[in-house]
Chains A and B, each alone.
Chain A
Amino acid sequence: MKKKAWFTGMASLVLIMGVLAGCSGNGNSNAGSEASPSANATASSGDPIQLTMWGGVPPESGPQAVVDAWNAEHPDIQVEYVRFVNDDEGNLKLDTAMMTGQDVDLFVNYTISQASKRVEAGLALDLSKFSDYNIDEKMGPDAKSFLIDGKYYGVPTTKSPFFVALNKDALDAAGLEVPKEWTWDELREYAKQLKQDGGYGFIQHTEPYVDPIDSVLAKEGYTKADGTSNLDHPLVKKWLETLNAMMAEDKSTPPLGEQLTSKMPVEQEFLSGKAPMLNIGAWLLRSSNNFTDFPRDFKIAFAPVPRLTDNAADYVTRGGLGDYISINAKSKHQEAAWEFLKWYADGGMAPMAAGGRLPASKDADQDAALESLLGDKADTYDVDSLMYVMFNNPAPTYVRSLPQEVMDARAQEYEKYFLGTQSADDTIAAMVKRHNEYLEQNQ
C-alpha cells in the first residue's frame, strides 16, 4: 500500500472514532509539503517579535545571560529561553511541543541522530535558503559531520573537545609527562603508576566511555563492504581486553558494575584528588572552576583521548563541534530566528563559555571566550595543554552518529563482558548479531 493512502485510511478510521479527528488534521499537515514559511511576519507593526529557543543547558549556566544581552540590543526581536532536560523524556517533550505547534522557533540538537529524526519529521528548516552565512567557512572543516543528506539543517555552534584530564601534581610527582598523543597501552601504564592505595589511577565519565570503539569505526566504517556489521573489528576486542585488564588485573580503574550502580561522581573523585586521570569532555570546566563545591589544591593538565591503533596517522578523535542549533520549519519568524542564530554563533554565545562551551565560529572573539572559560582560575590549569586539546590537536575529529538502538545494544553486551558473564568473543559475536538485526530492520 502507498504511504499516503495508508495514512488517509488510518485517518478515516480515526475519524470514525470521532474524538481523535484532530489527529488526522495534524497528521496530514505533517505529511503534506514542508510547512510553508509564508508568514515571515516581519516587524511591520510596533509589537516586537517573540522568539522561543529551547536548549538543554540550565539557564543560569549561560543561556539566560545570552538572551538578556540580545534582548537589550534588539527591542524588536525578543528571545525567551526554555530549558529541557537533555534526556529521553526531555527530548520527547521538545518533540511533542513542536508537533503541536507550540512556540518553538529555535532548538538545540545534542546528537546527530536526534537531529535526523527531526529533519525526517520536517521540523528542522533547511538552512540553504539563507545565503548570507557560509557555515563551512565560519566553522571550518569539522562542520561537515553535521550535513544531513548533504544539507545543513542547523548550525553547529560550539567547540566540543573530549580529553583526559590529568592531575598535574600527581603526574609531576611520579615523573610522568603530559602526553600529546598516546595509546591505551600507554595510558594503562600511567594508571598503574599513578594508582594510590585503595584508589584508582584512571576513571571515566560514562558519556565518552565507549568512544574508543567509535573512534575506530568512525574511521573504518560501522559496516563492512558487504553491508554487515563491522563491530568485529580487531580493535574492538583490543578495547574490551585492555579495559578489562585494567579493571581485573591492575585494579587501576573501577569495575563497570560498581561504577554504574553507585552512580560514581567522577568529577568529584577527580577534583578531590582521589583519582588522577579522568576521561571526560569540556563540561568538566564548570565544576573545576567551582571551588566552593569542589575545593581543589592541584593543577589540571589535559591530554587527548588515547588511541587503540598503533599508528597515530590512522587516528580520529571525538569532538570537533557540537550544539547543533536548528530553526523550527513551522516557525512563523524564521528570518528573525536566523538573525538571532547568526549573532549567537558569531559570539553572542560567549557567556556559555563559563560552562565549557567555546564558540566555534572563526569570527567569535576566542580570547574573550577563553577568559570567560577560565575565569579567575587560569593559574590552576596547565593552559598550554588545554590549548592543545581545544585548538591545536592535529588529529581529525568525528561526531558520534550511531543510532540509539545500536548504541544501547552494544552497551548491554559490553557490560555483560566487563561484569564477567560473557567472554570477549561471545560479546563481539552478540554485538555483531544485534547490529546486523538492526541493519536488516532498517534497510
Chain B
Amino acid sequence: MTNNWMKKQRLLGYIFIGPSMLGVLLFFLIPALYSFGLMFTNYKFMNPNVEFVGLDNIIRLFKDPMFYLSLKNTAVFLLAVPVSIALGFVVAVVLNQKIYLKKLLRGLYFMPYITSGVAVAFVWMLLFHPTQGPINGMLRSIGIDNPPGWLSTTTSSMFAIDIIWVWFLLGYNMIIYLAALQEVSPELLEAAKIDGAKRGQILRKIIWPLVSPTTFLLLITGLIMTIKTFGIIQAITHGGPGNSTTILSLYVYQNAFRYYDMGYASTLSWALFIVILLITLVQWIGQKRWVHY
C-alpha cells in the first residue's frame, strides 16, 4: 500500500461528510448567523423599520426576571432526562431477554412517541385533574387526603410536566438502547454466565459499559432535545398556570411567534444556546471517565 493511496483515502473523509455538511451549512449555520445578527437589532417580524440597538437586548436579558425564572423552570424540566434514560435502559434490557410477546411490548412502549400530541396533552390533563382525575382518585383511595394539584398549581405543575416527559421519552430511549444491545455479543454474555457472574453484575460490569457510547448519545441528545422542546408544554399549559411552566424555549417561542420580537427572541435563543453548549461541554469532557468505545 502506497502512502499516496493512504492519503487519498484520508481525503475521502471530506467526501463522506460533504453532502451532509452542505445541508448543515444551508439550513443551520447560515440561518444561525443571521439570527446572531438580529440580536443587535430591534427587528419585529414584518416590520420594515429595523434599527441597530447595540447591546440593548443583552442588557434587557440580564434584567429580565422572566429569563431567570424560565432558566429555573428549564433546570427542573431537565431532571426528566436522566430518569427516563435509566428507565429506558431497564425496559430495553427486560425486552431484550427471553420474554413472551416481545414484539408487541416493544411496540407498546414506543407508542407515546408516535401518538398525536393533542391526544397526549388531553389525556394527561384528564388523568391529572385535581378533583376528578383517576390519579388523585387512586391516591385518595390509599389514604392520601391532600394529593397534589399537579398541573393546576404553580408549585407542582413543573413536576407534573416532568412525569409526562419521562413517559414520553421512555420509548425513544428504549428503542435506541435496544439497537445498541444487539451489538453486545451473546457469546460474551454466555461467557459471563459460565463464569458465574450474577445478573446484576453482568448488567453493571458488562452491559452498562458496553452501551456507554449510547448512553452518552442519549444524554446529550436528550438534554438538547428537552431544552429545545416547547410543543408539549404549549399544548398542555401554555407555560402556566401563572408562569410556572414557562421554560426558556417556550419563552423564546412566545417572543418570536406571539410578540414578533425577533431581536429579543434571538438574544434569548443565543442564551439558550450557551446553556446547551455548557452542558454539552461538561459532558464531553466528563465522558472520558465513563464512556468506553
Contact = CB atoms under 8 A, between A and B. Distances in A.
Given A258-B130, A416-B154, A120 B52 contact: no
A123 interface: yes
A87 to B, nearest CB: 9
A405 B151 contact: no
Given A17-B30, A261-B150, A412-B240, A120 B47 contact: yes
Contacts of B37: 10, 13
Contact of B34 (A20, A88, A95, A415): A20
A92 B130 contact: no
Contacts of A99: 46
Interface stretch (B10-18, B87-95, B217-225, B253-261): B253-261
B155 interface: yes
Contacts of A262: 125-126, 129, 132
Contacts of A261: 125, 128-130, 150-152, 237, 241
Nearest to B124: A261
Contacts of A408: 254, 258
A421 B154 contact: yes
B153 A257 contact: yes
A411 B237 CA distance: 13
B51 A260 contact: no
B49 interface: yes
B242 A88 contact: no
A6 interface: yes
A95 B257 CA distance: 11
Contacts of A6: 41, 50-52
Given A261-B129, A421-B154, A89 B30 contact: no
Contacts of B257: 88-89, 92
Nearest to B238: A260
Interface string B240-272: 111100000000001001111000000000000
B41 A416 contact: no
A404 B259 contact: yes
B50 A17 contact: no
A412 B33 contact: no
Contacts of B50: 3, 6-7, 10, 27
B60 interface: yes
Nearest to B239: A412
A441 B154 CA distance: 28
Contacts of B125: 261-263
B12 to A, nearest CB: 27
Contact of A121 (B48, B51, B150, B237): B48
B241 A419 contact: yes
Contacts of B239: 412
A257 B45 contact: no
A19 interface: yes
A121 B149 contact: no
B104 interface: no
Interface in A12-63: 13-14, 17, 19-20, 27, 30-31
Contacts of A20: 30, 34
Given A19-B26, A123-B46, A421 B150 contact: no
Given A6-B51, A257-B149, A261-B150, A416 B242 contact: yes
A173 interface: no
A1 B241 contact: no
A419 B153 contact: yes
Given A99-B46, A122-B48, A421-B155, 16 more contacts: A3-B50, A6-B41, A7-B50, A9-B52, A14-B34, A17-B33, A20-B34, A27-B50, A30-B48, A31-B49, A117-B47, A121-B46, A255-B152, A416-B154, A419-B152, A421-B153
Closest 5 CB pairs of A and B: A257-B152, A121-B46, A416-B242, A30-B48, A31-B48
11 contacts: A19-B26, A20-B34, A27-B48, A27-B50, A92-B257, A120-B49, A257-B130, A257-B152, A260-B152, A419-B152, A421-B153
Interface of A: 1, 3, 6-7, 9-10, 13-14, 17, 19-20, 27, 30-31, 88-89, 92, 95, 99, 117-118, 120-123, 255-258, 260-263, 404-405, 408, 411-413, 415-416, 419, 421-422, 441
